Structure 1
Amino acid sequence: MDLKDLEELYEEQLRMKNLRSLIKSPRAREIADRARLDSADGRVIDEHDQFYRDHKLLLTLFRILAVMPVQRGKIGKITFGWRSGPMIYAYMFYVATTVIVFMVGYERVDILLNKSKKFDEYIYSIIFILFLVPHFWIPFVGWGVATEVCDYKNGWGFFQLHYYKISGKNLVFPHLSTLIVIISSGCLILSVVFLLTLSALLEGFTLYHTSAYYHIITMINMNCALWYINCRAIGNASSALADIFQEDINKHCTAYIVAHYRVLWLELSELLQAIGNAYSRTYSTYSLFMITNITVAIYGFISEIIDHGITFSFKETGLLVAGLYCLVLLFIFCDCSHQASENIAGRVQTYLLEIKGNSVDLNTRREIELFLTAIRLNPPTVSLKGFADVNRRLVTSSVATIAIYLIVLLQFKISLVNLKT
């Protein structure tokens, strides 16, 4: 922490100390009494950590897949260790699946190099090889970021306790646990049905080959589900914060209360930014993987149309479905981030602007101005550690990138067709 940060912290402590002298309303005294709760006590954190209880199943599934071997090692705290029980299981699971992936991958490469004669067979072979790649980045994008993920998850505990200190009630995530059960079950079932269907309809893709893909396809689906659940939880938290804030400023608009909500809002904004920092490797590679698969699948589909016209054979339809499937996952990833960012700032900022300056005292006006300044200077955005901001603009820029590569590839394709004729 540099000198400037120390000065800012000192000034903030002085301001809060002065605000305590302004505690006059019963509502402010309630907040002051609950502020004595110890945030370092794991039992206190655990009592108010509803988010962990609701999404515990999701964490369990990621441990089973050996992607994110974290655990509730201490009361009120999620931990990670390279020699922990979940990590030892992850080592064994990864070694076993790596052997299968190498065996199947060798056969898929052999089919690509020696047995594929038609263009559509080449494209499918390339796609099947691409879908094996995510297995090899698990240690980098899963285990390698586990410590940062723990920090992000534990941040939820502190935020929920702070929310309780101000509101007097626990943060609730409506239907989140039920939604997680439905989505998780759907991800598992879709993976199995998808691979069994390919095995039945595609020549050369045997049941033995599907064994290398079950955990990979499930992991891809679950990563999208994980991001959606986290963004939904942040949306629930922002809505709850806005509701209780509106209720308080309508009845008890004082400097002390506004100052506490400003700190709480900043914590929520930091949570949104923390999710991007914690999962930056995971979703940077995830986005690149989706863009690559969309490009290859759409190129194969258009090439088939150029060669044979629009026949909508199974292979053409399969390529189109593969491209659309990846595009839908990419859109969900970007859209839920966009909505979470919009929800955090919108309502609270509106309520602050609606407060009439002549209806509150000087200290309260000052806190309102500080709150508005904090919102303006700390826009709630999801950034993958500066590599990309995750919002709807990422979808359009990705589509533009895909279009550029498709144009280049199709120019080569058309040139080859013209040379043959």
Structure 2
Amino acid sequence: KKLSRVLTNLMAFERIYYKMTKKKFSQILGNKPLVITVALPVLACATMVVTHVTMAHFKFLQVVPYCYINMITYLICGVWYMLCDLLGNIALTVVDDFDQILKNISPANKIAEFRSLWMLLSRIIRDIGNAFGFTLTFLCLYLFLIITLTIYGLMSQIQAGLGIKDIGLAITGFFAGLMLLLISDEAHYASNCVKVQFQKKLLLVELNWMSDDAQQEINMFLRATEMNPTDMTLGGFFEVNRNLFKSLIATMVTYLVVLLQFQISIPEDGDEGDSTTKH
């Protein structure tokens, strides 16, 4: 329901944009949806097959449920990437049109129309975060757990020596980290395009040659960009941006240090037990 509201608002935004500029959004995403729809399921299945083939006790039927879980994970990340990339590209297109309005002597009502258009765009970016609230929260925690356990498993095998079975773990951890990075980076990209790019145009405009009404609309537009949040939040609980990725990495390092210290202490306890028995 929430995702359908996002798509409905995007269609309404496109209609309003067409009435204002007589232009359509064409080829914004290009062939990305087709590539993501085809490539991600294949990649998800391939990584699971490689992981299970490199294990000692490989059974083909065990791969099927893992392939399904992996495909769902990859596709959710792909949908998030497409929506954030779409919203960022739309914002950049509107910014270019707004820049042309500012360079020419345009009436104040044109600036007011772009302000209302921006208000709808900021609402869409908040709706995207609310639509993926619980799904993306669980996905981030799931990816965080996979990366942590994968790195711990690889580091614990360094002393014994890495083997073929560790190739699957390395591939799984790499793609999980890449997805977590894309989730954070694309949300930052969309928020930056919607807010910062518009603010740059508004702050650099020359107000001397504008009418009083146009200057007032510029000030109202700038105030609207400051008052209306454009951060991608998951249900209002936390923001999805590059800081999220950095905080998860810092937490992961803390957990890995604790786990490795615990693992190192286990053989020492065993040695003490053996020495006590001998005495």
Is TM (by shorter chain) over 0.5? yes
2:97 aligns with 244
Report SS of the residue matched to 1:381.
Answer: coil
2:63 aligns with 210
> For residues 328-358 of structure 1, what are the alpha-carbon distances to aligned partners after superposition, in whole Å with 9 as ceiling and x for unaligned?
1100010011111111223322222222222
Shift of 1:279: 0.8
Which residue identity lines up with residue 165 of structure 1 in the other structure? K
Question: Does the CA contact (< 8 Å) of 2:105 and 2:210 recur in 1?
Answer: no
Report SS of the residue matched to 2:158.
Answer: helix
Change over 3 Å in CA distance of 1:316–1:194 after alignment to 2 = closer
Q: Distance in 2 between matches of 1:402 and 1:199?
A: 25
Q: 2:141 aligns with which of 275, 283, 288?
A: 288
2:130 aligns with 277
Q: Distance in 2 between matches of 1:252 and 1:265?
A: 20
Which residue identity lines up with residue 113 of structure 2 in the other structure? H
Shift of 1:400: 1.0
> For residues 351-379 of structure 1, what are the alpha-carbon distances to aligned partners after superposition, in whole Å with 9 as ceiling and x for unaligned?
22222222111111111000000111124
2:206 aligns with 356
Q: Do residues 297 (structure 1) and 150 (structure 2) align?
A: yes
1:192 aligns with 45
Q: Which runs of 4+ in 1 moved over 3 A?
A: none
Shift of 1:204: 2.1
Shift of 1:177: 4.6
Report SS of the residue matched to 1:386.
Answer: coil
Report SS of the residue matched to 1:194.
Answer: helix
Question: Does the CA contact (< 8 Å) of 2:54 and 2:167 recur in 1?
Answer: no
Q: Distance in 1 between matches of 2:49 and 2:208?
A: 69
Q: Distance in 2 between matches of 1:361 and 1:220?
A: 53
Shift of 1:169: 1.3
Shift of 1:403: 1.2
1:340 aligns with 190
Question: Does the CA contact (< 8 Å) of 2:130 and 2:235 recur in 1?
Answer: yes
Aligned length in residues: 271
Shift of 1:264: 0.4
1:394 aligns with 244
Q: How does 1:116-127 map to 2 (within 5 A)?
A: none
Shift of 1:317: 3.2
1:93 aligns with none
Q: Distance in 2 between matches of 1:214 and 1:318?
A: 14
Which residue identity lines up with residue 288 of structure 1 in the other structure? L
Question: Does the CA contact (< 8 Å) of 1:173 and 1:236 recur in 2?
Answer: no
> For residues 106-154 of structure 1, what are the alpha-carbon distances to aligned partners after superposition, in whole Å with 9 as ceiling and x for unaligned?
xxxxxxxxxxxxxxxxxxxxxxxxxxxxxxxxxxxxxxxxx11111111
Change over 3 Å in CA distance of 1:316–1:213 after alignment to 2 = closer
> For residues 305-330 of structure 1, what are the alpha-carbon distances to aligned partners after superposition, in whole Å with 9 as ceiling and x for unaligned?
24x1xx33122333233222211110
Q: Do residues 149 (structure 1) and 3 (structure 2) align?
A: yes
Q: Distance in 1 between matches of 2:86 and 2:27?
A: 7
Query: Bigger shift: 404-413 or 189-198?
Result: 189-198
Change over 3 Å in CA distance of 1:266–1:238 after alignment to 2 = same
Q: Distance in 2 between matches of 1:323 and 1:195?
A: 12
Q: 1:367 aligns with which of 196, 211, 217?
A: 217
Question: Does the CA contact (< 8 Å) of 1:173 and 1:233 recur in 2?
Answer: no
Q: 1:161 aligns with which of 9, 15, 20?
A: 15
Please tell me the root mean square deviation across aligned C-alpha atoms, in Å: 1.5
Query: Bigger shift: 398-407 or 365-374?
Result: 398-407
1:130 aligns with none
Question: Does the CA contact (< 8 Å) of 2:195 and 2:230 recur in 1?
Answer: yes
TM-score by length of 2: 0.92
Q: Distance in 1 between matches of 2:206 and 2:61?
A: 70
TM-score by length of 1: 0.62
Q: Do residues 226 (structure 1) and 79 (structure 2) align?
A: yes
Q: Do residues 258 (structure 1) and 111 (structure 2) align?
A: yes
Q: Do residues 409 (structure 1) and 277 (structure 2) align?
A: no
Report SS of the residue matched to 2:157.
Answer: helix
Question: Does the CA contact (< 8 Å) of 2:51 and 2:165 recur in 1?
Answer: no
2:274 aligns with none
> For residues 182-225 of structure 1, what are the alpha-carbon distances to aligned partners after superposition, in whole Å with 9 as ceiling and x for unaligned?
12211121123223323432222311111212221111111111
1:235 aligns with 88
Question: Does the CA contact (< 8 Å) of 2:54 and 2:165 recur in 1?
Answer: no
2:276 aligns with none
Q: Distance in 1 between matches of 2:263 and 2:209?
A: 70
Q: Distance in 2 between matches of 1:352 and 1:197?
A: 52
Which residue identity lines up with residue 55 of structure 2 in the other structure? L
Structure with the larger RCO, 1 or 2 (CA within 8 Å, 6+ apart): 2
